[in-house]
Amino acid sequence: MKNPTLRKGYTTGVHSSFAFKNALESFISTSQPSSSITNKIDNDDLDVTKGCEITVTISDNLKDLVLNQIPHKPYILKSKTNICKVYAGTGVGVVTKHGLKPPKDYPAINPVPLEYLQELFQKATTYKNNLTLFCAIGVTNGKQIALKTANAKVGILGGISILGTTGWVKPISSTAYIHSIETELNFAKQNSFETIIFTLGNSSYTKAKQNQTSKSYIIEIGNFIYDGIKLALDVGFDNIILYTGVAKSVKIAQGFKNTHNRFGSIDFTKVQQLVKIDIQDATTIKRVQELLQDKQKEDFEILVKKKAQEQLKKWFNCDIVCIVVV
């Protein structure tokens, strides 16, 4: 059942546009360098940018801005004879590789937020002419926040990305995490990788790294089994390998599209049907494995893998290789 108390939140793109509008209107009124600060509204999403502080500064002198020190080109907003050059401020990343929506050598700002800024710039400068402005969008501690994302892996350096499509961060969907998976998939496709390896957790990632080839690309998808594989298929990958532990394989076999505990727990009555001994006192898969003899344990792991692959086949109507890490 959907929880009615879950809160939505605005994306970093929407918050940036709020601050941009305020800073731009202030500059137009005063002809002085203007900054606006906003905090990303807290919500019930699993988003590392929750509560982050976004600062937008606008001036007619580039020297008034504090920028990401990685050399980059600005986006150009236009309105009649007016222009505004938008740079990555401190804490907003710069794109250093091809294959992402923001082009290489530009700030890591997605197309939809840029459209917001363009609309706001046109509206605010309707009665102005010959303005040349400079804008920096920055995020306090953005470089540290980015360490919790896959930004560096795909070549976004020095900070986080400014995201947004619909403007809303949906609760529980972990919009930012899913967007990160999609970004990595697009990057892998554009850079001619042939196989996508999804991992769930540190053990599966370590095992996947041992078997990685030059044509395979590893993406850590947390608990987002269904979303991750669907995105990979949508992007155009037909060779997908999933590395996962035994417990999460059991969850997949039992039909969990997301293996986070908030979406439900393993049904041990069904697990009992897969083993030939009494496991009534077991409340974890680890405990089940402890109760099994070596051959029984091996048979259980093989059966779990088979059931998980069968469930994946039902969902996607194609073969997804499932490797169970023990």
Per-residue DSSP letters for 261-307? GGG----HHHHHTT-SS--TT--SHHHHHHHS-HHHHHHHHHHHHHH
What pLDDT is recorded for position 5?
Answer: 45
Would residue 175 count as lying in a domain?
Answer: no
On whether both 245 and 315 belong to a single domain, the answer is: yes
Same-domain pairing of 228 and 108? no
- Other CB atoms within a 10 A radius of the CB of residue 79 amount to 19
Q: Examine the domain organization and report whether 14 and 137 are in the same domain.
A: yes
DSSP-derived secondary structure for 47-85: -TTTT-EEEEEEESSGGG--B-SS--PPEEEEETTEEEE
Could you say which of 169, 185, 216 is where a domain stops? 169
Torsion of CA 211, 217, 219, 224, to 10 degrees: -100
Per-residue pLDDT, 166: 42
Which residues fall within 8 angstroms of residue 151, CB to CB, at 6 or more apart? 93, 108, 157, 159, 160, 161
* Residues 145 and 259 both lie in one domain: no
Note whether 165 and 18 are same-domain residues.
Answer: yes
Angle between the 12-30 and 111-124 helix axes, to the nearest 10 degrees?
A: 20
CA distance linking residue 280 with residue 203, whole number of Å? 28
Is residue 140, in this structure, part of any structural domain at all?
yes
Where a domain ends, among 134, 169, 204? 169
Q: Are residues 200 and 244 in the same domain?
A: yes
Q: Residue type for 137, please?
A: I
- Tokens 């908030």 correspond to what residue? 262
Same-domain check for residues 140 and 243:
no
Assigned domain for 221 exists:
yes
Give yes or no: residues 141 and 55 share one domain. Answer: yes
Taking residue 298's Cβ as centre, other Cβ atoms within 10 Å add up to: 12
For residue 154, being part of any structural domain is answered with yes
* Domain carrying residue 270: 193-325
Kindly report the number of other CB atoms within 10 A of residue 83's CB atom: 17
Domain assignment present for 174: no
Tell me whether residue 146 is in a domain.
yes
Residue 50, pLDDT score: 65
Same domain membership, residue 260 and residue 143: no
| Residues 245 and 147 placed together within one structural domain of the fold | no
Q: What is the pLDDT of residue 48?
A: 59
Same domain flag for 97 and 204: no
Final residue of a domain: which of 169, 202, 217?
169
Measured distance CA(55)–CA(57) in Å, rounded: 7
Return the beta strands (E) in 49-201 as ranges. 53-59, 75-79, 82-88, 91-92, 94-95, 132-139, 156-157, 159-160, 168-169, 195-199
pLDDT for 4 equals: 42
Strand ranges in 171-276 using DSSP code E only, listed in sequence order = 195-199, 216-220, 240-245
Question: Domain with 113 in it: what CATH number?
Answer: 3.30.2110.10
Cα separation of 56 and 171, whole Å? 26
Q: Which amino acid is at 130?
A: N
In a domain, 138, yes or no: yes
196-109-12-48 Cα dihedral, nearest 10 degrees? 40
According to the model, what pLDDT value does residue 41 have?
67
What crossing angle do the helices spanning 175-190 and 225-235 adopt, rounded to 10°?
A: 30
Q: Is residue 43 part of a domain?
A: yes
* Two structure tokens written together for 25: 């209107």
Residues in the chain with pLDDT < 70?
Answer: 1-10, 41-51, 164-176
> 16 with 164, same domain?
yes
Total count of domains within the chain: 2
